[in-house]
Structure 1
Amino acid sequence: MAERLATMRVDYDCEGFDIDALAPTWHEQLARWLVEAEAAGVPEANAMVLATAGQDARPSSRTVLCKGVDARGVVFYTNYTSAKSHDLRASRYASVTFPWYGMHRQVHLRGPVELVSAEETRSYWATRPRGSQLGAWASAQSAVVRDRRSLDDALEAVTRRFADEDVVPAPPHWGGWRLTPEQVEFWQGRANRMHDRLRFEVDGHDRSWTVSRLAP
């Protein structure tokens, strides 16, 4: 396998991507690429890898689903008692990467995080399938559990609890996080590893954005 890994390689033969092809804002460009990824049949085109660090400065990463994009940032939802939420409360900073491997593209964002409003959480919660809503109540996310049966039993108990309720309310320990980027990099694979890397970066004083090209 070590020898095989050394030779695993895909040559990216994609069209060029330059600054004049960018949308006026990072969030418009991200929305554009999200639409193109979905149209291309990328599985879960809104999946992004979230990287965090806790008080011990040790990094962790996992995949979450982006559920909101606008000028304020990107949003995902989770259990507020989860490992990722503990990290986010400790550092108030994170990064996310959209990895569209089949399109030889990725988008990387980094910046501070904040909780979304309770109103935004309720609005998104109402769009979730009932099974997902019940699962959010049943799972003490990131906690050690005895076995699979204990998870199934928890879900059965929650299902019985809300059996006569038409609407399942959002748990008080569940909601959204928003990452407000300071940098957003759009990466397009190119031949000979001479990739296109275009970065939006915000000025810390007047909040204006500049765009730069980075060496691959």
Structure 2
Amino acid sequence: MSDTTPLDDAQLADSVLPAGADPFALFEEWFAAAQVGELNDPNAMALATASADGAPSVRMVLLKGHGAGENPEGMGGGGFTFFTNAESRKGEQIRANMQAALLFHWKSLRRQIRIEGPLVEVSPARADAYFHSRPYKSQVGSAASDQSRPLAQRQEYLDRVQQVWAAHEGEGQVPRPAHWTGFTLSPRRIEFWIDRDNRLHDRREFVRDGADGEWADTLLYP
């Protein structure tokens, strides 16, 4: 039987996503709401990369820098920064194909943001600064890991963790491995999405040509 329940006023309301908005400012507004309303890891995002021949892969990572002022190595236009082991599968894909897509999905808020654009690697100084801002345990865990490589048994990794811990406990920090670095996505496309009942979703897409280009925006059909 088909659903003949009348649509309510909220479903029929006009878009609440403003035309001509600054997408970075809108992101800040939504991210602040997520930090209050999303219980676990509001900075978690899906990171999609592709190999040199275009085979896609996706995983969850944590956002560690963002905004219009996020400007690594003199690249204009702001961005979104994350850190990783560049010898991992994702790191190898990034080095082979320096572009990516991000997805924030805040289920509790019924909102999501999709972001696409090229990547640039952060400076060694910034990678050092962030690596050493992490708890000592996290530094040890990262330095001891050959991320994404085959592991015969878990005890091998745990033994490495103990060795790295003991070697650097006196200094209270671990030297950053050269392959542990960060990347900033410089957005060329940002889409904001609000969930509405009966799939009458509210979507606005912002697109720009180049890192310093002006943003153009439009509503999208759900």
Q: Residue in 2 aligned with 1:18?
A: 16
Do structure 1's residue 160 and structure 2's residue 166 form an aligned pair? yes
C-alpha contact 2:188 2:207 (8 A) present in aligned 1: yes
> Which amino acid letter does the alignment assign opposite residue 113 of structure 1?
L
Give the corresponding residue for 2:154: 148
Residue 108 of structure 1 corresponds to 114
Match of 1:44 among 41, 44, 54: 41
Q: Contact between 1:19 and 1:211, CA under 8 Å: does it hold in 2?
A: no
1:9 alignment partner in structure 2: none
In structure 1, list runs of 5 or more residues that go unmatched: 1-12
Aligned residues: 203
- Counterpart CA distance in 2 for 1:133 and 1:124 is 10
Cα distance in 1 between the residues matched to 2:59 and 2:94: 13
User: 2:25 is matched with which residue: 3, 28, 46?
Assistant: 28
Change (3 A) 1:128 1:21: farther
Instruction: Give the distance between the partners of 2:65 and 2:26, measured in 1 at CA.
Output: 14
The whole-number CA distance in structure 1 between the counterparts of 2:39 and 2:184 is: 24
Q: How do 1:82-97 and structure 2 match up within 5 A?
A: 82-97=88-103
Return 179-188 or 53-62, whichever deviates more.
53-62
Q: Normalised by the size of structure 1, how large is the TM-score?
A: 0.87
Tell whether 2:131 aligns with 1:125. yes
Q: Could you state the TM-score of these two structures normalised by the residue count of structure 2? A: 0.85
Shift of 1:169: 2.5
1:21–1:207: structure 2 CA closer, same or farther, 3 Å change rule?
A: closer
State which of 64, 69, 87 in structure 1 corresponds to 2:66: 69
Contact conserved, 1:125 with 1:133, CA < 8 A, in 2? yes
Deviation at 1:21, TM superposition (A): 7.5
Identity of aligned residues (%): 36
Name the aligned partner's letter for residue 199 of structure 1.
E
Q: Deviation string for 1:52-76 (max 9, x for gaps)?
A: 1102321110000000002221000
How much does 1:16 deviate? Answer: 6.3
Q: Summarize the Cα distance change of 1:16–1:129 in structure 2 as closer, same or farther, 3 Å threshold.
A: farther
Q: Which residue of 2 aligns with 1:57?
A: 54
SS of the aligned residue for 1:213 comes to: strand
Deviation, 1:19, is: 3.7
What's the CA shift for 1:41? 3.5
Name 2:217's counterpart in structure 1. Answer: 211
Counterpart of 1:117, as a letter, is S
Contact 1:188 1:196 in 2 (8 A): yes
Work out whether residues 16 and 190 of structure 1, in 8 Å CA contact, stay in contact via their aligned partners in 2.
no
State the shift of 1:17 in Å: 4.5
Q: Secondary structure of the residue that 1:126 maps to in structure 2?
A: helix
Q: Residue 189 in 1 paired to residue 195 in 2?
A: yes
Structure 2: tracts of 5 or more residues without a match: 1-9, 69-77
1:174-195 deviation line (CA, Å, top 9, x unaligned): 0101111100001100121010
Please identify runs of 4+ aligned residues in structure 1 that moved more than 4 A: 13-17
